[in-house]
Amino acid sequence: MYPADVKYTKNHEYIKPLGDGTALVGITHYAQEALGDVVFVDMPEVGAAFKAGDEFGTVESVKTVSEIFIPSACEVLEINAELEAHPEYVNEDAYGKGWMLKVKLDGALNPELLDAAAYEALVSAESH
Amino acid sequence: MSELLKTPLNAVHRALGAKMVDFGGWDMPVQYPAGIIAEHVAVRTKVGLFDVSHMGEIRVKGPQAMAFLDWLTPNAVVKLAHGQIHYTAFLYENGTFVDDLLLHKIADDHFLLVVNASNVEKDFAWVKQHAAKWDVEVTNESDQTGQVALQGPLSMDVLQPLVDIDLSQIKYYWFAFGKFKGMPAMFARTGYTGEDGFEVYCPAEKTEWVWNELMMSGQPLGLVPTGLGCRNTLRLEAKMALYGHEIDDTTNALEADLGWIIKLQKGEFLGREALATLKEQGFSRRLVGFRMLEKREIARDHMDVLVDGKKAGYVTSGSPSTTCGFNLGLAYVPVSHAPLGSRIHIDIRGKACEAEVIPTPFYKRAK
């Protein structure tokens, strides 16, 4: 639920650095659970540049819609095209098949991001 | 926040891994681990089991029960046979809604009204207040009554082995009393999904047992527990109104497209005068069904309807539709844009997205 190799935002996005200056961005397991069945992910264009905290798209589930925000300054290298046909990957495997963006990091990782332990504490506080 | 109300099945839902939400002050399952889409499909193709114990039950008895209810509600109570049910409403004098309900006729002097959970206190006070002038006795049995809804084409196969009456003899919108494994219960062929199904009424303390028996009987047939999430998408496809969305104290029964429950010819009833005037003079807006033309655009509750770039109405319910395969909704629009084929726009987060007015219900089961 809270893999150690990713960093988390308070808005329930994650960023997973791949070690070569790139990273994967998506929403957390907790976020997908709160949304329920995802039916559509609206994503930015390849090449778009964002600052930490910028809105980069929306996730639509059967019940609701949620805006999603960039964890750390970056440029979009690739979007997960599989999600067009299989939005349910976000529910089934948020940190794996459900990734949304592959990005090139712009500078150091946002220092405000949470590690797994801090994020787990945040989630358990929110769900009680 | 005040303590949420719990149905007798609260612990059962939690044990099943349900995601619980505050629904009108009740702690209710919005979905189980299968998820809303899988639960929706189960009801359309097999069978699902809903906890609807939060619904309110108001009993009206007495020599004037039929005359009283015929005056209190707009549908023709005198036309109902014993064992028959109809959909109706409590209306204010101006024709807007106190609530909508199912009215069950047990005998000329005995009726059971099933009302929305969030409105039980208001409805009971409403009926009580008007009953003062009539020879009737009104009781609120909501807390003592459990209710589960078995919905889907295989409902009868699940329920029949457990009961001592022939369920095939109960027609849609009729009910009968019988025994559920020896326990007296009421079986109504009704529901809020657009599918065939039965709503089983029993004493509150027996609800968990009834639920477990149904789950066991249904498991080989693909029965799954189903939550309020799919209940909403199912009722929306069937264009069944939801209080607080399509209908409330600001919308009247005619513009809500519920003219079929308004029997102006039957004589006096509460709200009649206002509705008769509205019918004669016409009204400015109407509830319609629409589909989004772009497959990625999803209208949601409370979004604005735009006509010529200006706010001209609002979405009462909007959702992706699993059965139809497109995104649909219900909205109040100006009567000029109510005809089928009309184009309207929905303001989705600042973007005007095109939609077409289409026939409802969006989904109708094959008979």
Chain-wide mean pLDDT for chain B? 97
Number of domains in chain B: 3
B317 in reach of chain A (CB within 8 A): no
CB contact under 8 A, A62 and B30: no
Closest CA relative to residue B300, chosen from A65, A59, A37, A66: A65
Nearest-CA neighbor of B255 among B235, B232, B275? B275
Compare all CA atoms of chain B with the CA of A41 and give the residue at the minimum distance: B296
| pLDDT (0 to 100) of residue A6 | 96
B363 shares its domain with B332: yes
CB-based burial label for B2 (10 Å; 0-12, 13-18, 19+): exposed
CATH of the domain at B187: 3.30.1360.120
Chain A residues within an 8 Å CB radius of B19 = 33, 36
In a shared domain, residues B182 and B225 = yes
- Asked if B329 and B313 count as a contact pair (C-beta separation under 8 A), the reply is no
pLDDT in tens, B170-188: 999 999 999 999 999 999 9
Q: How far is B98 from chain A (nearest CA, A)?
A: 26
Which strands sit side by side in the sheet containing A38-42, from one edge to the other? Answer: A38-42, A55-61, A65-69
Count other C-beta atoms under 10 Å from residue B127's C-beta: 24
Confidence of residue A127 (pLDDT cuts 50, 70, 90): confident
Give me the mean pLDDT over the B196-216 stretch.
98
A58: tokens are 């929306």
**pLDDT for B95-116, tens place per residue?**
999 999 999 999 999 999 999 9
Do B164 and B51 sit in the same domain of this protein? yes
Report the b/e string of B180-210 with b at 16+ CB within 10 A: beeeebbbbbbbbbbbbbbbbbbbbebbbbb
How is residue B171 annotated by DSSP?
A: P
Both B160 and B134 in a single domain? no
Taking a contact as any Cβ pair under 8 Å apart, which residues of chain B between 215 and 234 contact chain A? 229, 232-233
Average pLDDT, rounded, for chain A: 96
**Among A84, A104, A112, CA closest to A13:** A112
Both structure tokens of A123: 């989630």
Where does the pLDDT of residue A126 fall: very low under 50, low under 70, confident under 90, or very high at 90 and above? confident
Rounded Cα–Cα distance for residues B238 and B254 (Å): 19
- Cα torsion B75, B328, B332, B44 to 10°: value is 10
Phi, psi of B23 (to 5 degrees): -115, 100
Give which of A112, A20, A107 is closest to A69, Cα–Cα. Answer: A112
CA of A27 vs chain B CAs: smallest distance (Å): 18
Cα B139 versus chain centre, distance: 22
Interchain CB contact of B367 with A (< 8 Å): no
B175 HSE (CA, 13 A, CB side): 24
DSSP A31-56: HHHHH-SEEEEE---TT-EE-TT-EE
Q: Identify the residue whose tokens are 């527990």.
A: B225
C-beta atoms of B320 and A60 within 8 A: yes
CATH code for the domain of B346: 2.40.30.110
Which of B19, B320, B349 minimises the CB distance to A62? B320
How close is the nearest chain B Cα to the Cα of A83, in Å? 13
- Is A23 inside a domain boundary? yes
Neighbours of A3 (CB within 10 A): 14
Report the residue from A42, A62, A65 with minimal CB separation from B37: A62
Q: Taking CB atoms and an 8 Å limit, are A58 and B349 in contact across chains?
A: yes
- Nearest-by-CA chain A residue for B232: A63
pLDDT at A1: 82
CATH code of the domain containing A16:
2.40.50.100
B31 in contact with A at a CB cutoff of 8 Å?
yes
Domain that holds residue B131: 56-140
Domain annotation covers residue B277 = no
The number of distinct structural domains making up chain A is: 1
Q: Compute the average pLDDT of residues B231-253.
A: 97
Contacts of A60 in chain B (CB under 8 A): 298, 320
Distance from CA of A18 to the nearest CA of B (A): 31
Tokens of B356: 């077409």
pLDDT, position B1: 52
| Gap from B231 CA to chain A (nearest CA, Å) | 11
Q: What is the pLDDT of residues B271-328, one digit of tens each?
A: 999 999 999 999 999 999 999 999 999 999 999 999 999 999 999 999 999 999 999 9
Task: Give the side-chain half-sphere CA count within 13 A for A73.
Answer: 7
Domain span including residue A108: 7-126
Collect all residues of chain B within an 8 Å Cβ-Cβ radius of residue A36: 19, 30-31, 35-36, 229
**ipTM of this predicted complex?**
0.85
* Domain-embedded: residue B69: yes
